[in-house]
Amino acid sequence: MTDMELLQYTFFQHALLGSLLASIICGLVGTYIVTRRLVFISGGLTHASFGGIGLGLYMGIPPLLPAAAFAVLSAFGVEWLSKRKDMREDSAIAVFWALGMAVGIIFTFLSPGYAPDLSAYLFGNILTITRGDLVLPGILAVALTAFFALYMRPIVGVAFDREFARSQGIPVQVLEYVMMMFIALTIVACLRMVGIVLVISLLTIPQMTANLFTYRFRSIIGLSIAIGCISCLGGLYVSFRWNIPSGASIIFLSILIYMVCKGGKTLASAARHRTTIRKTENH
């Protein structure tokens, strides 16, 4: 089968569209996560969503619906508990992380009939997503693009300096809750593509790579989307050609891109430093 013939297949078209949508929503939300240093919180929400998946399997309904509800409620719970003086943020995250995993395991075990195959949710497989799996990422991509376009300055203010943003009259707490909701929904939207285990990488590694070249919030978003898209498309192709898990191949490629960019920047800096020293010696 040639590469062009692949594009004629519906499953591959779904995978391509899913890659684009995942890159957009992860590029937008991930930039906020990395700037606010919320990586650990995102990891907690990722694992908390497993509780909703187990509940959905037990109730016989699409698992992503209760997973979305579970993740959003966990996000609000972490945000609320972390603001209390008697609860540290990492402790609040640990509570919902453990609760989600425990509930997910219990209800998965209690699910009637054969034990469900959880690998699609744990590790993801973008080649098996359906038209229905694209609905949530599609809605999120539109909503996030509109939200960031309308409220970019307040988002940047909260991401870099919450106290200064508060002094400027920005409703910091409301914005934080909205962004936590978007983080939770983005995580759930990407579960079928890269899985619970790897989704946090898609939210952070492209942003880390973009951060090697720029510190401007808007520029990081654009570069993150481009890098995420390259990682998803390349990982998708590798996954199909060599029959390996798509989630793992996408993340591996994104890490490879980061390492190449990091190494290239280090070598370029060393070359500039040597050139500067030679010029100084010549003078």
pLDDT digits (tens, 9 = 90+) for 91-135: 888 888 899 999 998 998 888 776 566 777 777 778 788 888 899
3-state class (DSSP) for residue 179 = helix
The total number of structural domains that make up the chain: 1
How large is the C-alpha radius of gyration of the chain? 21
Please write the tens of the pLDDT for every residue from 8-34: 778 888 888 998 999 999 999 999 999
Domain span holding position 74: 3-282
pTM for the full predicted model: 0.88
Specify the pLDDT at position 193.
Answer: 83
Report the pLDDT value the prediction gives residue 121, as an integer from 0 to 100: 79
**pLDDT tops 80 at residue 153:** yes
Give the whole-angstrom CA distance, residue 19 versus residue 260: 22
Residue range 239-277, pLDDT digits in tens: 888 888 888 888 899 999 999 999 998 888 888 878 777
Reported as a pLDDT band with limits 50, 70 and 90, residue 1 is low
Mean pLDDT, the chain, rounded, equals 87
Q: Check residues 228 and 193 and name the one with the higher pLDDT.
A: 228
The domain that holds 266 is classified in CATH as: 1.10.3470.10
For the chain, what is the total number of helices (H) and then of strands (E)?
13, 0
For the purposes of burial, counting CB atoms within 10 Å of the CB of 106, is it exposed (0-12), middle (13-18) or buried (19 or more)? middle
